[in-house]
Structure 1
């Protein structure tokens, strides 16, 4: 399991190890880094570790950008299946099924392959106390972005974050006739 972020990200790595991962790598940085920098770091990890299947979340919790998996695929020249709701591994092939507007789409990828996951991929489970205790003894390596030839400086800077403007409360109507009347006379949309 790999995470890129501050020292506190060890908690998520330990949780993943309690669920079955053998070891973890934390690429520690306190700098605000963008999706491209994360993808470059992960490229270094993949080249070093040589996994055949790279699983990533669909979107990051910080910027919700949905970019790292696709950028990693481009940097590695590897096939990718995005928004996976079903993943089937058969030898050196990976079938990824995802929901699209018209139904389901299944793609087949050669390994090494990158898969970004959707919520429907699995049912979340909880770690048992004995596994949580065992996870404390599993190896967790701490690296820096420089170990993978990446400078942690992002080309993007968050200037500010603000909530959307407050909206007025909606109006409930008791009948279709009243709704049509309000749409005609107040909203003037029909």
Structure 2
């Protein structure tokens, strides 16, 4: 089976993150950059599928040159090879443009199964899996907490607030996963050394047949106009009980429209 797992490099969620002052995009140079946490679960699930039915796992990343660091980290976990879409014109791309680029790359790879994290910690829009599936004309099995295969049939337990739904589809398909689906393996020393020799193909927009005007700020369907840091937390309201504490509490809750 030809399995492709989508991996994104994001600013470390454990550090303070910010937007750039010049163009309101994520400031990726102000902190360490790592593999998007949810994508590690996607990598693990791709490897489990390969171990179960055989095939090959390819890592696909869209990002600047420095994203190569996360590609090598992903390869050290066990995937066979990687494809890196890199082009200066991609800076400022919205989710719609991102899905177009990734779908074009996936079209060249001919994947039977595409696995990705349900969301990224920098954007958190949760729409890329759906957009890619729509562009490729394949099924989208999203928010998976469990994935099983029977020949060309995929069955997913789709995580919901109330429990889970069981959905099925045939390959090719896009599956997005939550962190409840598995426990990602740690790269071994052997895996880290092997990752240095695994092939990484780079693709430009020209290679994908996409014009620069279709991506980046020029092709964006949404734009951040301004941003500001989260305000400091203010002191709370203290209610002193003078035999009317209950009344004061209800009045406060009513003023905040809780009751």
Which TM-score bucket, shorter chain as reference? Answer: 0.7 to 0.9
Corresponding residue to 2:229 among 160, 163, 166: 163
Corresponding residue to 2:150 among 90, 104, 122: 90
Counterparts of 1:63 and 1:7 in 2: how far apart (Å)? 20
Q: Shift of the alpha carbon at 1:60?
A: 2.6
Equivalent residue, structure 2, for 1:120: 180
Equivalent residues in 2 for 1:25-44, closer than 5 Å: 25-30=83-88, 31-44=91-104
Secondary structure of 2:183's match?
Answer: coil
- 8 Å CA contact 2:239, 2:249 repeated in 1: no
Structure 1 residue 58 corresponds to structure 2 residue 121: no
Q: How many residues align?
A: 189
Equivalent residue, structure 1, for 2:6: none
Greater mean alpha carbon deviation, residues 99-108 or residues 15-24: 99-108
Q: Which runs of 4+ in 1 moved over 6 A?
A: 172-175
Question: In structure 2, do the counterparts of structure 1 residues 165 and 129 end up closer, same or farther at CA, with 3 Å as the change threshold?
Answer: same
Uncovered stretches (5+) of structure 1, i.e. residues with no partner: none
- 8 Å CA contact 2:158, 2:164 repeated in 1: yes
**CA deviation vs aligned residue, 1:63-116 (integer Å, no higher than 9, x gap):** 221111111111111001111111111110111112223321010011000011
Structure 1 residue 19 corresponds to structure 2 residue 19: no
TM-score, scaled to structure 2: 0.66
Equivalent residue, structure 1, for 2:199: 139
Greater mean alpha carbon deviation, residues 5-14 or residues 147-156: 147-156
Question: In structure 2, do the counterparts of structure 1 residues 187 and 36 end up closer, same or farther at CA, with 3 Å as the change threshold?
Answer: closer
Secondary structure of 1:121's match?
Answer: coil
Counterparts of 2:238 and 2:63 in 1: how far apart (Å)? 46
TM-score, scaled to structure 1: 0.88
Uncovered stretches (5+) of structure 2, i.e. residues with no partner: 1-58
Q: Shift of the alpha carbon at 1:167?
A: 3.4
Secondary structure of 2:180's match?
Answer: helix
Counterparts of 2:152 and 2:146 in 1: how far apart (Å)? 17
